[in-house]
Structure 1
Amino acid sequence: MRKLSMDELGRKSVSDFKEADKHRLMLVLDNIRSMHNVGSVFRSADAFLVEGICLCGYTPQPPHRDIHKTALGATETVDWMYFSTTLEAVQQLKQKGYKIFALEQAEGSISLEQFHASQHLPAAIVLGNEVEGVDAEVIKYCDGCIEIPQFGMKHSLNVSVATGIVLWEAVRGMI
Protein backbone atom coordinates (compact mmCIF):
# COMPACT_ATOMS: atom_id res chain seq x y z
CA MET A 1 0.00 0.00 0.00
CA ARG A 2 1.20 3.51 -0.77
CA LYS A 3 -0.08 6.98 -0.14
CA LEU A 4 -1.58 8.72 -3.20
CA SER A 5 0.11 11.83 -4.53
CA MET A 6 -1.76 15.12 -4.87
CA ASP A 7 -1.87 14.61 -8.65
CA GLU A 8 -3.55 11.21 -8.22
CA LEU A 9 -6.33 12.59 -6.01
CA GLY A 10 -8.18 14.24 -8.91
CA ARG A 11 -8.48 17.53 -7.06
CA LYS A 12 -10.79 20.11 -8.66
CA SER A 13 -9.55 23.56 -9.60
CA VAL A 14 -11.49 26.56 -8.26
CA SER A 15 -13.24 26.96 -11.62
CA ASP A 16 -14.01 23.21 -11.81
CA PHE A 17 -15.51 23.38 -8.31
CA LYS A 18 -17.63 26.43 -9.20
CA GLU A 19 -19.00 24.68 -12.29
CA ALA A 20 -19.58 21.28 -10.65
CA ASP A 21 -23.07 20.07 -9.78
CA LYS A 22 -23.46 20.52 -6.04
CA HIS A 23 -25.32 18.46 -3.50
CA ARG A 24 -28.55 20.32 -2.72
CA LEU A 25 -27.41 21.14 0.81
CA MET A 26 -26.82 24.48 2.50
CA LEU A 27 -25.18 25.08 5.86
CA VAL A 28 -26.37 27.81 8.19
CA LEU A 29 -23.96 28.91 10.92
CA ASP A 30 -25.86 30.35 13.89
CA ASN A 31 -23.53 32.73 15.77
CA ILE A 32 -20.39 30.60 15.66
CA ARG A 33 -17.62 32.25 17.69
CA SER A 34 -14.46 30.54 16.52
CA MET A 35 -12.78 31.50 13.26
CA HIS A 36 -11.11 28.09 13.26
CA ASN A 37 -14.52 26.40 13.40
CA VAL A 38 -15.75 28.58 10.54
CA GLY A 39 -12.69 27.67 8.46
CA SER A 40 -13.18 23.97 9.21
CA VAL A 41 -16.84 24.17 8.15
CA PHE A 42 -15.76 25.77 4.87
CA ARG A 43 -13.30 22.93 4.34
CA SER A 44 -15.96 20.26 4.98
CA ALA A 45 -18.43 22.11 2.73
CA ASP A 46 -15.83 21.98 -0.05
CA ALA A 47 -15.05 18.30 0.58
CA PHE A 48 -18.73 17.33 0.31
CA LEU A 49 -19.54 19.74 -2.57
CA VAL A 50 -22.39 21.59 -0.85
CA GLU A 51 -24.17 24.56 -2.40
CA GLY A 52 -23.06 27.11 0.13
CA ILE A 53 -22.90 28.50 3.64
CA CYS A 54 -24.97 31.19 5.36
CA LEU A 55 -22.89 33.03 7.96
CA CYS A 56 -25.22 34.57 10.53
CA GLY A 57 -25.04 37.05 13.38
CA TYR A 58 -21.57 37.42 14.83
CA THR A 59 -20.17 34.45 12.90
CA PRO A 60 -16.81 35.63 11.48
CA GLN A 61 -16.61 36.17 7.73
CA PRO A 62 -13.76 35.77 5.26
CA PRO A 63 -11.31 37.15 4.52
CA HIS A 64 -9.46 36.56 7.75
CA ARG A 65 -6.18 34.74 8.25
CA ASP A 66 -7.56 32.58 11.10
CA ILE A 67 -10.43 31.38 8.87
CA HIS A 68 -8.05 30.77 5.96
CA LYS A 69 -5.69 28.85 8.25
CA THR A 70 -8.21 26.00 8.62
CA ALA A 71 -10.20 26.48 5.41
CA LEU A 72 -7.11 25.86 3.24
CA GLY A 73 -8.58 27.66 0.24
CA ALA A 74 -12.20 26.54 0.65
CA THR A 75 -13.34 30.15 1.11
CA GLU A 76 -12.44 30.58 -2.57
CA THR A 77 -14.55 27.63 -3.72
CA VAL A 78 -17.62 27.50 -1.46
CA ASP A 79 -20.25 30.18 -2.00
CA TRP A 80 -21.25 32.03 1.14
CA MET A 81 -23.51 34.87 2.16
CA TYR A 82 -23.98 36.88 5.34
CA PHE A 83 -27.24 37.46 7.24
CA SER A 84 -27.57 39.68 10.30
CA THR A 85 -29.74 37.02 11.95
CA THR A 86 -30.06 33.28 11.57
CA LEU A 87 -33.83 33.63 11.44
CA GLU A 88 -33.49 35.84 8.36
CA ALA A 89 -31.37 33.18 6.63
CA VAL A 90 -33.78 30.38 7.54
CA GLN A 91 -36.81 32.35 6.33
CA GLN A 92 -35.12 33.17 3.02
CA LEU A 93 -34.11 29.54 2.48
CA LYS A 94 -37.67 28.39 3.28
CA GLN A 95 -39.00 30.83 0.66
CA LYS A 96 -36.66 29.17 -1.83
CA GLY A 97 -38.11 25.74 -1.02
CA TYR A 98 -35.46 24.41 1.36
CA LYS A 99 -36.38 22.07 4.20
CA ILE A 100 -34.63 23.33 7.32
CA PHE A 101 -33.10 21.02 9.93
CA ALA A 102 -31.26 22.09 13.05
CA LEU A 103 -28.42 19.88 14.24
CA GLU A 104 -29.54 19.84 17.84
CA GLN A 105 -30.52 17.59 20.71
CA ALA A 106 -34.22 18.32 21.03
CA GLU A 107 -37.50 16.69 21.87
CA GLY A 108 -38.55 14.66 18.84
CA SER A 109 -35.19 14.96 17.08
CA ILE A 110 -34.33 12.46 14.34
CA SER A 111 -31.32 10.28 15.04
CA LEU A 112 -28.78 10.87 12.28
CA GLU A 113 -28.82 7.28 11.05
CA GLN A 114 -32.60 7.60 10.52
CA PHE A 115 -32.32 10.90 8.62
CA HIS A 116 -32.32 10.54 4.85
CA ALA A 117 -31.37 13.92 3.38
CA SER A 118 -32.21 12.74 -0.14
CA GLN A 119 -35.90 12.69 0.87
CA HIS A 120 -35.83 16.36 1.92
CA LEU A 121 -33.93 18.14 -0.85
CA PRO A 122 -33.11 20.90 -1.10
CA ALA A 123 -32.14 20.96 2.57
CA ALA A 124 -30.39 23.35 4.90
CA ILE A 125 -28.70 22.31 8.14
CA VAL A 126 -28.45 24.87 10.93
CA LEU A 127 -25.36 24.52 13.11
CA GLY A 128 -25.40 26.24 16.47
CA ASN A 129 -23.14 28.28 18.68
CA GLU A 130 -20.35 26.40 20.47
CA VAL A 131 -21.94 26.98 23.90
CA GLU A 132 -25.65 27.68 23.37
CA GLY A 133 -26.35 25.49 20.34
CA VAL A 134 -29.04 26.48 17.84
CA ASP A 135 -31.19 29.36 19.07
CA ALA A 136 -34.62 28.19 20.34
CA GLU A 137 -36.41 30.79 18.17
CA VAL A 138 -34.69 29.41 15.08
CA ILE A 139 -35.69 25.84 15.98
CA LYS A 140 -39.36 26.92 15.86
CA TYR A 141 -38.93 27.62 12.13
CA CYS A 142 -37.19 24.34 11.37
CA ASP A 143 -38.84 21.34 9.76
CA GLY A 144 -37.04 19.11 12.24
CA CYS A 145 -33.95 18.52 14.31
CA ILE A 146 -31.22 15.98 13.62
CA GLU A 147 -29.25 14.49 16.49
CA ILE A 148 -25.92 12.69 16.29
CA PRO A 149 -26.03 9.68 18.65
CA GLN A 150 -23.39 9.95 21.37
CA PHE A 151 -22.49 7.48 24.08
CA GLY A 152 -19.93 9.11 26.36
CA MET A 153 -20.21 11.55 29.21
CA LYS A 154 -20.08 14.82 27.24
CA HIS A 155 -22.95 14.45 24.75
CA SER A 156 -21.62 17.28 22.65
CA LEU A 157 -19.24 17.59 19.73
CA ASN A 158 -17.24 20.49 18.38
CA VAL A 159 -19.38 22.20 15.72
CA SER A 160 -16.82 21.56 12.98
CA VAL A 161 -16.59 17.85 13.87
CA ALA A 162 -20.39 17.59 13.96
CA THR A 163 -20.54 19.27 10.54
CA GLY A 164 -18.24 16.67 9.00
CA ILE A 165 -20.25 13.81 10.48
CA VAL A 166 -23.65 15.13 9.36
CA LEU A 167 -22.40 16.02 5.88
CA TRP A 168 -20.88 12.59 5.34
CA GLU A 169 -24.10 10.89 6.41
CA ALA A 170 -26.26 13.20 4.28
CA VAL A 171 -24.11 12.90 1.15
CA ARG A 172 -23.53 9.17 1.60
CA GLY A 173 -27.24 8.63 0.97
CA MET A 174 -27.04 10.60 -2.29
CA ILE A 175 -24.10 8.83 -3.94
Structure 2
Amino acid sequence: MRKLANSELDRKNIDEFKQAEKTPIIIVMDDIRSLHNIGSVFRTSDAFLIDKIYLCGITATPPNKEIHKTALGATDTVTWEYVQSISEVIEKLKQNNVFVYAVEQVENSIMLNDFQIEKNKKYALIFGNEVKGVSQEAIEKCDGVIEIPQLGTKHSLNISVSAGIVVWDLFRKLTTL
Protein backbone atom coordinates (compact mmCIF):
# COMPACT_ATOMS: atom_id res chain seq x y z
CA MET A 1 0.00 0.00 0.00
CA ARG A 2 1.04 3.54 -0.73
CA LYS A 3 -0.39 6.69 0.78
CA LEU A 4 -2.01 8.85 -1.89
CA ALA A 5 -0.71 12.32 -2.63
CA ASN A 6 -3.14 15.21 -2.43
CA SER A 7 -2.99 15.53 -6.23
CA GLU A 8 -4.35 11.96 -6.52
CA LEU A 9 -7.48 12.54 -4.39
CA ASP A 10 -9.70 13.83 -7.21
CA ARG A 11 -10.88 16.77 -5.13
CA LYS A 12 -13.60 19.02 -6.48
CA ASN A 13 -12.99 22.72 -6.78
CA ILE A 14 -15.62 25.11 -5.40
CA ASP A 15 -17.51 25.39 -8.69
CA GLU A 16 -17.54 21.60 -9.18
CA PHE A 17 -18.80 21.17 -5.62
CA LYS A 18 -21.59 23.73 -6.13
CA GLN A 19 -22.70 21.95 -9.35
CA ALA A 20 -22.43 18.40 -8.00
CA GLU A 21 -25.53 16.40 -7.14
CA LYS A 22 -26.01 16.73 -3.40
CA THR A 23 -26.75 14.07 -0.82
CA PRO A 24 -30.39 14.60 0.24
CA ILE A 25 -29.49 15.50 3.81
CA ILE A 26 -29.85 18.88 5.49
CA ILE A 27 -28.14 19.63 8.79
CA VAL A 28 -29.64 21.98 11.35
CA MET A 29 -27.40 23.21 14.17
CA ASP A 30 -29.39 24.85 16.96
CA ASP A 31 -27.74 26.80 19.76
CA ILE A 32 -24.27 25.35 19.15
CA ARG A 33 -21.83 27.34 21.24
CA SER A 34 -18.49 25.89 20.07
CA LEU A 35 -17.10 27.50 16.95
CA HIS A 36 -14.88 24.46 16.45
CA ASN A 37 -17.93 22.17 16.45
CA ILE A 38 -19.60 24.39 13.86
CA GLY A 39 -16.52 24.29 11.64
CA SER A 40 -16.18 20.53 12.01
CA VAL A 41 -19.79 19.98 10.94
CA PHE A 42 -19.18 22.17 7.89
CA ARG A 43 -16.16 20.05 7.02
CA THR A 44 -18.12 16.78 7.40
CA SER A 45 -20.90 18.30 5.29
CA ASP A 46 -18.42 19.11 2.55
CA ALA A 47 -17.02 15.57 2.63
CA PHE A 48 -20.47 14.02 2.06
CA LEU A 49 -21.90 16.67 -0.33
CA ILE A 50 -24.60 17.65 2.17
CA ASP A 51 -27.37 19.71 0.58
CA LYS A 52 -27.51 22.56 3.11
CA ILE A 53 -26.81 23.64 6.68
CA TYR A 54 -29.13 25.79 8.78
CA LEU A 55 -27.60 27.66 11.70
CA CYS A 56 -30.11 28.65 14.40
CA GLY A 57 -30.25 30.42 17.74
CA ILE A 58 -26.87 31.31 19.23
CA THR A 59 -24.98 29.29 16.61
CA ALA A 60 -22.31 31.54 15.11
CA THR A 61 -22.07 32.08 11.37
CA PRO A 62 -19.24 32.39 8.89
CA PRO A 63 -17.07 34.25 8.23
CA ASN A 64 -15.34 33.58 11.52
CA LYS A 65 -11.67 32.69 11.98
CA GLU A 66 -12.43 30.13 14.72
CA ILE A 67 -15.00 28.36 12.52
CA HIS A 68 -12.53 28.47 9.63
CA LYS A 69 -9.84 26.69 11.71
CA THR A 70 -11.83 23.45 11.56
CA ALA A 71 -13.96 24.06 8.46
CA LEU A 72 -10.86 24.58 6.28
CA GLY A 73 -12.85 26.36 3.57
CA ALA A 74 -16.01 24.23 3.74
CA THR A 75 -17.98 27.37 4.57
CA ASP A 76 -17.30 28.41 0.97
CA THR A 77 -18.61 25.16 -0.52
CA VAL A 78 -21.56 24.05 1.60
CA THR A 79 -24.71 26.13 1.22
CA TRP A 80 -25.79 27.56 4.57
CA GLU A 81 -28.37 29.92 5.99
CA TYR A 82 -28.91 31.52 9.38
CA VAL A 83 -32.45 31.48 10.77
CA GLN A 84 -32.95 32.57 14.37
CA SER A 85 -35.89 30.28 15.11
CA ILE A 86 -35.53 26.49 15.04
CA SER A 87 -39.33 26.24 14.86
CA GLU A 88 -39.35 28.35 11.71
CA VAL A 89 -36.74 26.10 10.09
CA ILE A 90 -38.63 22.91 10.99
CA GLU A 91 -41.86 24.36 9.61
CA LYS A 92 -40.13 25.42 6.37
CA LEU A 93 -38.52 22.01 5.93
CA LYS A 94 -41.78 20.15 6.49
CA GLN A 95 -43.57 22.42 3.99
CA ASN A 96 -40.94 21.28 1.48
CA ASN A 97 -41.60 17.58 2.21
CA VAL A 98 -38.37 17.08 4.13
CA PHE A 99 -38.44 14.46 6.91
CA VAL A 100 -37.11 16.15 10.06
CA TYR A 101 -35.34 14.12 12.75
CA ALA A 102 -33.66 15.31 15.92
CA VAL A 103 -30.53 13.48 17.04
CA GLU A 104 -31.11 13.07 20.75
CA GLN A 105 -31.84 10.66 23.59
CA VAL A 106 -35.61 10.53 24.21
CA GLU A 107 -38.36 8.07 24.96
CA ASN A 108 -39.27 6.02 21.89
CA SER A 109 -36.27 7.17 19.86
CA ILE A 110 -35.15 5.09 16.88
CA MET A 111 -31.67 3.68 17.32
CA LEU A 112 -29.47 4.78 14.43
CA ASN A 113 -28.70 1.18 13.42
CA ASP A 114 -32.48 0.53 13.15
CA PHE A 115 -33.31 3.76 11.31
CA GLN A 116 -34.67 3.00 7.83
CA ILE A 117 -34.56 5.55 5.04
CA GLU A 118 -36.68 5.80 1.93
CA LYS A 119 -35.38 6.29 -1.58
CA ASN A 120 -36.02 9.69 -3.17
CA LYS A 121 -36.72 11.37 0.17
CA LYS A 122 -34.84 14.25 1.77
CA TYR A 123 -33.90 14.22 5.46
CA ALA A 124 -33.02 16.97 7.92
CA LEU A 125 -31.01 16.21 11.05
CA ILE A 126 -31.20 18.54 14.04
CA PHE A 127 -28.24 18.75 16.39
CA GLY A 128 -28.62 20.76 19.59
CA ASN A 129 -26.65 22.58 22.22
CA GLU A 130 -23.61 20.82 23.66
CA VAL A 131 -25.03 20.85 27.20
CA LYS A 132 -28.83 20.98 26.81
CA GLY A 133 -29.16 19.02 23.56
CA VAL A 134 -32.07 19.50 21.17
CA SER A 135 -34.84 21.53 22.77
CA GLN A 136 -38.08 19.83 23.77
CA GLU A 137 -39.92 22.35 21.57
CA ALA A 138 -37.96 21.21 18.51
CA ILE A 139 -38.32 17.52 19.40
CA GLU A 140 -42.11 17.88 19.54
CA LYS A 141 -42.16 19.29 15.99
CA CYS A 142 -39.93 16.59 14.48
CA ASP A 143 -41.07 13.53 12.55
CA GLY A 144 -38.97 11.42 14.90
CA VAL A 145 -35.79 11.19 16.90
CA ILE A 146 -32.67 9.21 16.06
CA GLU A 147 -30.43 8.04 18.88
CA ILE A 148 -26.84 6.87 18.54
CA PRO A 149 -26.41 3.66 20.54
CA GLN A 150 -23.85 4.20 23.30
CA LEU A 151 -22.64 1.48 25.61
CA GLY A 152 -20.16 3.19 27.90
CA THR A 153 -20.59 5.31 30.99
CA LYS A 154 -20.89 8.79 29.44
CA HIS A 155 -23.79 8.42 26.99
CA SER A 156 -22.72 11.69 25.49
CA LEU A 157 -20.86 12.48 22.29
CA ASN A 158 -19.49 15.74 21.00
CA ILE A 159 -21.84 17.32 18.43
CA SER A 160 -19.26 17.15 15.64
CA VAL A 161 -18.67 13.47 16.37
CA SER A 162 -22.42 12.81 16.48
CA ALA A 163 -22.89 14.59 13.16
CA GLY A 164 -20.11 12.56 11.58
CA ILE A 165 -21.56 9.26 12.79
CA VAL A 166 -25.14 10.00 11.73
CA VAL A 167 -24.24 11.57 8.39
CA TRP A 168 -21.98 8.63 7.53
CA ASP A 169 -24.68 6.12 8.45
CA LEU A 170 -27.39 7.86 6.41
CA PHE A 171 -24.99 8.41 3.49
CA ARG A 172 -24.15 4.69 3.51
CA LYS A 173 -27.81 3.74 3.61
CA LEU A 174 -28.71 6.18 0.83
CA THR A 175 -25.98 4.92 -1.47
CA THR A 176 -26.98 1.28 -1.06
CA LEU A 177 -30.70 1.71 -1.81
| TM class, shorter-length | over 0.9
Structure 2 counterparts to residues 133-148 of structure 1, below 5 A? 133-148=133-148
Question: Aligned residue for 1:80?
Answer: 80
Identity score, percent: 51
Report the alpha carbon displacement of residue 121 of structure 1 after superposing the two structures with TM. Answer: 1.9
- Is 2:104–2:146's contact at 8 Å kept on the other side of the alignment? yes
* Unpaired segments ≥5 residues, structure 2: none
Question: Aligned residue for 2:15?
Answer: 15
- Is 2:115–2:146's contact at 8 Å kept on the other side of the alignment? yes
- Is 2:112–2:166's contact at 8 Å kept on the other side of the alignment? yes
Secondary structure of 2:141's partner?
A: coil
* 1:165 equivalenced with 2:142 (yes/no): no
Report the alpha carbon displacement of residue 117 of structure 1 after superposing the two structures with TM. Answer: 3.1
Structure 2 counterparts to residues 23-172 of structure 1, below 5 A? 23-119=23-119, 121-172=121-172
- Is 1:37–1:159's contact at 8 Å kept on the other side of the alignment? yes
Report the alpha carbon displacement of residue 87 of structure 1 after superposing the two structures with TM. Answer: 1.0
TM-score (norm 2): 0.96
Secondary structure of 2:124's partner?
A: strand
Q: Distance in 2 between matches of 1:28 and 1:20?
A: 21
Report the alpha carbon displacement of residue 119 of structure 1 after superposing the two structures with TM. Answer: 4.9
Q: Distance in 2 between matches of 1:117 and 1:127?
A: 19
Question: Aligned residue for 2:174?
Answer: 174
Q: Distance in 2 between matches of 1:120 and 1:149?
A: 26
* Unpaired segments ≥5 residues, structure 1: none
Q: Closer, same or farther in 2 for the Cα pair 1:152/1:120, shift >3 Å?
A: farther
- Is 2:119–2:174's contact at 8 Å kept on the other side of the alignment? no
Residues 98-149 of structure 1 show CA distances to partners (whole Å, capped at 9, x for unaligned) of 1100000011100001112345821100001000000000001100000000
For this pair of structures, how many residues does the alignment match?
175
Q: Distance in 2 between matches of 1:151 and 1:94?
A: 33
Residues 73-94 of structure 1 show CA distances to partners (whole Å, capped at 9, x for unaligned) of 1000000001111111111111
Secondary structure of 2:90's partner?
A: helix
Q: Distance in 1 between matches of 2:117 and 2:18?
A: 22
TM-score (norm 1): 0.98
- Is 1:25–1:121's contact at 8 Å kept on the other side of the alignment? no
Q: Distance in 1 between matches of 2:63 and 2:51?
A: 19
